[in-house]
């Protein structure tokens, strides 16, 4: 009986796995079509210098404008895009689109606004990020100083010579790097010695309850020390209220982004936001 039940359990498990795999395949094929139909769009979330209050950058965040489902957040489709390899093609569009937009803002005198572009580890593994970025910079004529590539800790943990060379070549184009979701990936920070980056992005999971949770505060404080001693820039993600902002400033954090100021916005709304913000600062 136990054996039969065991077999049964295994079969049920297998079927649900198949259903899940089938769903993912289905979603991947819909995404492939969506890429062709320009259903993807980038929204931009402003980033702030906490001392001057100025907007220093914009993180590009992809959304799927689905004809029936409406605006689909990346958490719902990026993992599928990664598993299916579609992230390579999608990432090509994202990099080009973000650079194109940043160049428009530069032409409009909105800058200097550094555009942060999220790059999946899969893009490094299966795509040619170096060629992609250099082509985008050439095509759009965007100054490379206005581009920051957001890398994940998991990528840098690969510690491969190949990756080191790619990142060096990218750096020699003149752009900068940040480490996204910093603090969530790994406790050993030795990779910071092998890969040069300009900025750490403290993950929002440590910011959310900063003013209530002593552990979170201790972690954030430690991350701020690490950034200071390594002379890296540091930005806190997910700032939602004034108290959290005040605490971060007290702790010595210099940059932030979050719903306290604004969620990610369509490009035209982002521009209006910057203009309004600038007018407010100067009064």
| Residue span binding ligand C2E (CB under 6 A) among the ranges 48-56, 71-79, 137-145, 243-251 | 71-79
- Strands 114-118 and 265-266, how do they pair? unpaired
For position 150 contacting Mg ion by CB under 5 A, the verdict is yes
Instruction: Compose the 249-278 pattern: x for residues touching Mg ion by CB under 5 A, - for all others.
Output: ------------------------------
Structural contact between residues 162 and 146, judged by C-beta atoms closer than 8 angstroms: no
Angstrom distance (rounded) from CA 220 to CA 227: 11
CB of 6 to Mg ion, least distance (A): 38
Q: Binding of ligand C2E at residue 95 (CB under 6 A)?
A: no
Shorter beta-carbon distance to ligand C2E: residue 27 or 119: 119
Task: Report the SS3 class of residue 48.
Answer: strand
Q: Which does 75 bind (CB under 5 to 8 A by kind): ligand C2E, Mg ion, none?
A: ligand C2E
How far is 121 from 149, CA to CA, in rounded Å?
12
The distance of closest approach from Cβ of residue 18 to ligand C2E in the complex, given in angstroms and rounded to an integer, is 27
Query: Per the structure block, which two tokens stand in for 219?
Result: 């972690």
Min dist. Cβ of residue 5 to ligand C2E (A): 40
Contact flags string 221-240 toward Mg ion, x per CB under 5 A: ----------------x---
In angstroms, the CA 55 to CA 31 distance is 33
Question: Directed axis angle between helix 161-172 and helix 129-140, to 10°?
Answer: 10
Q: Find the shortest distance in angstroms from Cβ 169 to ligand C2E.
A: 20
61 binds, among ligand C2E, Mg ion, none (CB under 5 to 8 A by kind): ligand C2E
User: Cβ neighbours of residue 244 under 8 Å, at least 6 residues apart?
Assistant: 207, 210, 211, 260
Q: Tell me the residue ranges of DSSP E strands in 19-95.
A: 40-49, 55-66, 70-72
Binding mask 166-205 for Mg ion (x = CB under 5 A): --------------xx------------------------
CB of 275 vs ligand C2E, minimal distance in Å: 21
Binding-site member from 27, 50, 61, 223 for ligand C2E (CB under 6 A): 61
| CB neighbour class for 105 (10 Å; exposed up to 12, middle 13-18, buried from 19) | buried
Does residue number 183 form part of the binding site for ligand C2E (CB under 6 A)? no
125, with CB counted inside 10 A (0-12, 13-18, 19+), is middle
Task: Please give the backbone phi and psi of residue 119, each rounded to the nearest 5 degrees, phi first.
Answer: -120, 125
Give the span between the Cα atoms of 50 and 197, in whole angstroms: 21
> What is the nearest approach in angstroms of ligand C2E to the Cβ of residue 33?
19
Q: Are 147 and 102 in contact (CB under 8 A)?
A: yes
Which residues of the chain form contacts with ligand C2E (CB under 6 A)?
45, 60-62, 73-75, 78, 94, 118-120, 150, 180-181, 204, 237-240, 257-259, 263-264
Which residues of the chain form contacts with Mg ion (CB under 5 A)?
118, 150, 180-181, 237
């Amino acid at each position: 009986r136990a054996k039969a039940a065991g077999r049964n359990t295994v079969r049920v498990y297998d079927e649900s796995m198949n259903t899940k795999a089938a769903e993912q395949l289905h979603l991947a094929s819909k995404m492939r079509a969506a890429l062709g139909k320009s259903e993807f769009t980038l929204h931009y979330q402003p980033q702030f210098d906490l001392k001057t209050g100025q907007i220093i950058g914009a993180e590009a965040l992809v959304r799927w404008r689905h004809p029936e489902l409406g605006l689909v957040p990346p958490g719902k489709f990026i993992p599928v895009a990664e598993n299916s390899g579609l992230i390579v093609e999608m990432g090509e569009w994202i990099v080009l689109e973000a650079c194109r937009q940043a160049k428009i803002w530069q032409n409009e005198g909105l800058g200097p606004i550094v555009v942060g572009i999220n790059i999946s580890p899969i893009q490094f593994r299966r795509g040619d990020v170096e060629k992609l970025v250099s082509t985008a910079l050439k095509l759009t004529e965007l100054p490379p100083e206005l581009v920051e590539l957001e890398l994940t800790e998991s990528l840098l943990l690969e510690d491969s010579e190949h990756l080191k060379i790619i990142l060096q070549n990218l750096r020699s184009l003149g752009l900068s790097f940040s480490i996204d979701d910093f603090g969530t990936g790994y406790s050993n920070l030795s990779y910071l010695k092998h890969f040069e980056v300009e900025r750490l992005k403290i993950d929002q999971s440590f910011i959310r309850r900063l003013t209530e949770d002593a552990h979170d505060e201790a972690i954030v404080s430690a991350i701020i020390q690490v950034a200071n001693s390594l002379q890296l820039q540091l930005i806190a993600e997910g700032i939602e209220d004034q108290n959290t902002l005040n605490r971060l400033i007290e702790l010595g954090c210099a940059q932030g982004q979050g719903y306290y100021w604004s969620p990610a916005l369509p490009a035209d709304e982002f521009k209006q936001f910057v203009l309004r913000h600038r007018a407010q600062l100067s009064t």
